[in-house]
Structure 1
Amino acid sequence: MIQYPEVAEIDGVEFRINTDYRVALQCMAISENAAISDLERSTAICILLFGMDVPVTQSAVDMAQKYLQCGKTTEEQLASNKDMDFEQDADFITASFMSDYHVDLSKAEMHWWQFVQLISGLTEHSILSKVRDIRNYNVHDLPDEKSKQRMRRAQQQVALKKKLSPDEQQALDEFEALFL
């Protein structure tokens, strides 16, 4: 049986990890939030994972990162193709867990690492797998222009949206306001 981590040792002190996958998803959203400083992100993530008593040191931040990456190194994470986003694909993930595993994620309690492993194990018939396949499909492998155009449209429909920094969002809002 797979043993998932429940405790993290930080600077010689053991801290219980809040292993609920929803907490890890909150941490992932915080890590991508450009509206707050690195210190605020680090503090929020460490407190969510390890509790209020954790000292927010580099060791704690490193341990949080290691936990959220399921023990993989940053290089291993960067090498994998970004073909899904937990936030943008939430509906696809929920539907896929229901269809493949008969698990209602709104009610399920699950360790973060198990959640990630189950995503990796989704069948090719799950909606998330199909969406990821479309995102990764090389249109040049298709035989004719009509098929290529159809695949490009499908890829546009399921493409991951670029997340804007606060400055980029403000510039976009100001630009759009010119047309109102």
Structure 2
Amino acid sequence: MKLTDSFKDIITFEGQHIKVKLSFDVVLKAFELLEDDYFSDAEKWEMLAEMFVANPADIRGLCLSEKVTFANAVFDYLIAERTEKPSENSDDIEDYSYSDEPYYDFTQDADYIYASFLFDYNIDLIEQQGKLHWKKFKALLNGLSEKTKFREVVNIRMRELPKDKEERRRLEKLKRLYALKEKPQNEARIKKKVEALDRKMNDLAAALRNKGGR
């Protein structure tokens, strides 16, 4: 995010400028949807397109493949802000979800994130739903102080075990207490989900074209 930039949340699609919604809660709901096995891949893309678009009439005439392209473009150009892994010495909270072992999760750590925003910034994230932009949310998340519960928990998860037996036992207990479940929800995992969904839809479209050409 640049201080000289404004958030022009517009996707140019098929010659049309489409305004999108990118408040932090919309993006987090999109992440949750991608993890939800109840819906089919096609249903997920339909719902994602509808979640992101500011004016539903803008995508009303689009077919499924076009909605896939539209939603994918939102992820690629407006939500995703990183393609490479962080350096090993990085102290950037945003980097923690891009390591091989993720250290935070938007769903499992929701209480810690909420309390930390309130503690550091006096920002009530519930009241900010539909208002606080995703990129502002990420910048504020990244800037949380070491005094916040969220940073405390993340630091516990990422800390290496010491050699001292007593300290080691103490840290192991804390790590168990704050351990993430098997499938943490973070940007790296979501990026892979989007890419996998896109590949599946492309494969399906190719299969249908081949069938129609016979």
The TM-score normalised by the length of structure 1 is 0.79
Q: Note the residue ranges of structure 2 that are not aligned, 5 or more in a row.
A: 86-94, 185-214
Contact 1:11 1:59 in 2 (8 A): no
Q: How does 1:1-180 map to 2 (within 5 A)?
A: 1=3, 2-50=5-53, 51-52=55-56, 53-54=58-59, 55=62, 56=64, 57=66, 58-66=68-76, 67-69=78-80, 71-73=81-83, 75-76=84-85, 80-81=98-99, 82-108=102-128, 109-139=131-161, 142-163=162-183
Further displaced range: 116-125 or 49-58: 49-58
1:12 Cα deviation after fit: 2.4
Contact 2:96 2:103 in 1 (8 A): no
User: What is residue 167 of structure 1 aligned with on the other side?
Assistant: none
Cα distance 1:135–1:96, how it changes in 2: closer, same or farther (>3 A)? Answer: same
Aligned length: 160
Contact 1:8 1:15 in 2 (8 A): yes
Task: Return the alpha-carbon distance in structure 2 between the equivalents of residues 107 and 89 of structure 1.
Answer: 18
User: What is residue 91 of structure 2 aligned with on the other side?
Assistant: none
Task: Return the alpha-carbon distance in structure 2 between the equivalents of residues 79 and 96 of structure 1.
Answer: 18
The Cα RMSD (Å) is: 2.3
**CA offsets, 1:133-155, max 9 Å, x none?**
1111111xx13122112111111
1:59 Cα deviation after fit: 2.5
Task: Return the alpha-carbon distance in structure 2 between the equivalents of residues 148 and 78 of structure 1.
Answer: 22
Give the % identical residues.
Answer: 25
SS at match of 1:105: coil
Cα distance 1:17–1:148, how it changes in 2: closer, same or farther (>3 A)? Answer: same
